[in-house]
Amino acid sequence: MDKNGFIDYMKNWLNSKFNLLESIFALTFLLAITLKSSGVHNMAIVILVAINLLTLLYIFNSSLMSRDDNFNGTIIFINKIVFYSLAISLVGILFTLFGWPNADQFLLMGLISNGIFLIFVLVKMSNKNDFSFNERYLIRMLLILSVVISLKFVPKSQLVQWKIIAKPQVIQMK
């Protein structure tokens, strides 16, 4: 099998399994967050794996979409932006949950890119004659955007109380 044949095989396989894989990873993430907030320890690795796999799935799907002959250039470009925006948002969620540096910047980038694109899609969808857009993308965007908004604007003390994030530790320099 040559390189193009393998890429076409992977594209077809991913397209057939995308919704299933996305649902599995998203539900795993939601279950792990729920268990973590209810006091179950060691959910960090499950959260890490689920978000990373979901991010990779979105990035991989956006790169395979460019090889599809059924869409014009504008639709391919819009879909790529949607998936990259979702991936950036997921990285921001991951950084926030683990207390890693620059989490707020990733959340803000995801919030702005998804927000702008959400407005664009809603305006374009109001005129259905010249724009076709998968409604599942809209649901994805709204769900991830709601998590990003929650993590960005809910006070950190409340997130710590709910056991969503760990209490920030202060390191003193000698």
Q: Could you please report the per-residue DSSP string of 98-141? A: HT-TTHHHHHHHHHHHHHHHHHHHHHHHHSTTS----HHHHHHH
Q: Is residue 173 part of a domain?
A: no
Which residue range is the domain that position 17 belongs to?
A: 3-161
Determine the average pLDDT of the residues in 44-59: 93
Q: Is residue 98 part of a domain?
A: yes
Q: Is residue 137 part of a domain?
A: yes
* Beta carbons of 95 and 102 less than 8 angstroms apart: yes
Q: Is residue 33 part of a domain?
A: yes
Q: What is the pLDDT of residue 171?
A: 66
Q: Is residue 54 part of a domain?
A: yes
Whether the per-residue pLDDT at 89 is higher than 90: the answer is yes
* Beta carbons of 47 and 97 less than 8 angstroms apart: yes
**Confidence band for 47, pLDDT divided at 50, 70 and 90:** very high
State both tokens at 116: 């702008």
Q: What is the pLDDT of residue 103?
A: 92
Number of structural domains the chain divides into: 1
Q: What is the pLDDT of residue 71?
A: 66
Q: Is residue 150 part of a domain?
A: yes
Q: What is the mean pLDDT of the chain?
A: 84
**Confidence band for 78, pLDDT divided at 50, 70 and 90:** confident
Q: What is the pLDDT of residue 32?
A: 94
Between 77 and 68, whose confidence is greater?
Answer: 77
Q: Is residue 169 part of a domain?
A: no
Q: Is residue 142 part of a domain?
A: yes
**Nearest to 115, CA basis, from 65, 77, 149:** 149
Whether the per-residue pLDDT at 130 is higher than 60: the answer is no
